[in-house]
Amino acid sequence: MVELAGLTEAQRRGRNRARLRETAVSLGMMGPAVLLYTVMTVVPVVVAVYLSLTDWDGFSTAAFIGLDNYQHLFDDPSSTDAWYVTALIAVAGTVLMVGLGLVYALALKAKSRTNSFFRAVAYFPHVISALILGYLWAAILGTNGAINNTLAKFGIDPVGFLFDEQFALVSLIAVIVWAGFGFNVVLFVAALQTVPAELLEAAAIDGASKRQINLRVVIPMIAPVVTVATVLNLVGLIRAYDIVVSLTGGGPAGSTQTFTYLILARSFEGTKVGYATAQAVFLMVVSAVLALLVTALRNRQDQAATGS
């Protein structure tokens, strides 16, 4: 203030101009990103929320119907069935993908050519389109697939990988886990490299076993990455669609019909665009709430652990 008071009018004006210019430059820098974000994300979400409150069939003029579509979400049997399947896939899939990824990463954390090869093997399915993976596994697990054809040669009845309701859901989760856990492996291996060697050494000197070191030192150290992986997997699996389409097509008897499949294959393909949009908005909200919930729980746990 003292310094400001000592400035001449011309200096003050010059400083104000410089600040203004700086602000303008900042806004200019942010402009394209903000514009893109608004056009590509904010506007579609706002339009989707509006459409979800209408009875739009995709063709004629939309009429405002308030929260009817959201109410229908809870009395539509297809919707409730699909949520059950989706929840099962999301929870089981996330637990397995994170768990397997962690075990695999811990087993392959040391730097060696063999470990690099197996890490690449684990990650490989992740680079192939999920749609193609689904078709590939359908060719393996289907009634006329490789496994059942081989069994038939020995006079063994086909196994219901894809035609038995319970088995089909298990097969779907297994393929999803196989296709996705490699991504977690990469995340976890990268995180494991950041664990200080002296910490591990100290634990070993204190007499901790390998298992104890992993459980008490390594995993807590990479906990934030595990949280990120959990959130990514959970949100990703809530929107499971492509593997469902190509592996089971939602069948048999709708036993593998996920919520996203329901939205895209049934509601949008029909003429219930308003309802489908309400389903999509609901899905978006559930995903966001779950992501925030998992992150908040993790943060609370971290705070409790550090005593902060």
Partner 1 sequence: MRTMWRRACGLTVAPLVMASAVACGGGSDQAAEGTTLRVIVNITPNLTEKYWNDLFARYEKAHPGVTVKLELTGTIAADAKLRQDLAAGDPPDVVQQITPNADTASLFADLTDESWTAKTPLADQYAVDGKRYMVGVGEQIQSLVFYNKAAFEKAGLDASKIRTMDDLTAAMGKLKSSGYKPLQTAGQWVTGGQFSMMADAGVLTADPRWTAKRNDGKVSFADSGYLDYLKDYKGWIDKGYLDKSALGVTYADGQTAFLNGKSAMYVMGSFFVPAADAAKKSDDIGVFSMPTDGAYPSGQFGNISNPYVVVNKSPHKAEAIDFVKWATTDPAAIKSQLASDGNMRTGFSYPMSSLGTSVQKILDKAPSVIVKSGANQPVAGFSDELNKQVQSLYSGASPKAVAEGLDKWWNSQG
Q: Specify the residue, 78 or 116, whose C-beta has the smaller distance to partner 1.
A: 78
Q: Specify the residue, 52 or 94, whose C-beta has the smaller distance to partner 1.
A: 52
Q: Shortest gap between Cβ of 45 and partner 1 (angstroms)?
A: 17
Q: Shortest gap between Cβ of 64 and partner 1 (angstroms)?
A: 16
Q: Shortest gap between Cβ of 240 and partner 1 (angstroms)?
A: 17
CA dist 178 and 49 (Å) reads 35
Among residues 270, 252, 250, the alpha carbon closest in space to that of 260 is found at 250
Q: Shortest gap between Cβ of 2 and partner 1 (angstroms)?
A: 27
Q: Specify the residue, 160 or 236, whose C-beta has the smaller distance to partner 1.
A: 160
Q: Shortest gap between Cβ of 43 and partner 1 (angstroms)?
A: 14
Q: Specify the residue, 61 or 194, whose C-beta has the smaller distance to partner 1.
A: 61
Q: Specify the residue, 89 or 213, whose C-beta has the smaller distance to partner 1.
A: 89
Q: Shortest gap between Cβ of 192 and partner 1 (angstroms)?
A: 39
Q: Shortest gap between Cβ of 204 and partner 1 (angstroms)?
A: 52
Q: Residue 191: how many CB atoms within 10 A of its CB?
A: 21
Point out which residues bind partner 1 (CB under 8 A). 18, 21-22, 24-25, 28-29, 31-32, 35-36, 57-60, 72, 75-78, 141-145, 148, 157-158, 160-165, 249, 251-254, 257, 265-273
For the record, the structure tokens of 112 come out as: 């060696």
Q: Specify the residue, 220 or 252, whose C-beta has the smaller distance to partner 1.
A: 252
Q: Specify the residue, 229 or 247, whose C-beta has the smaller distance to partner 1.
A: 247
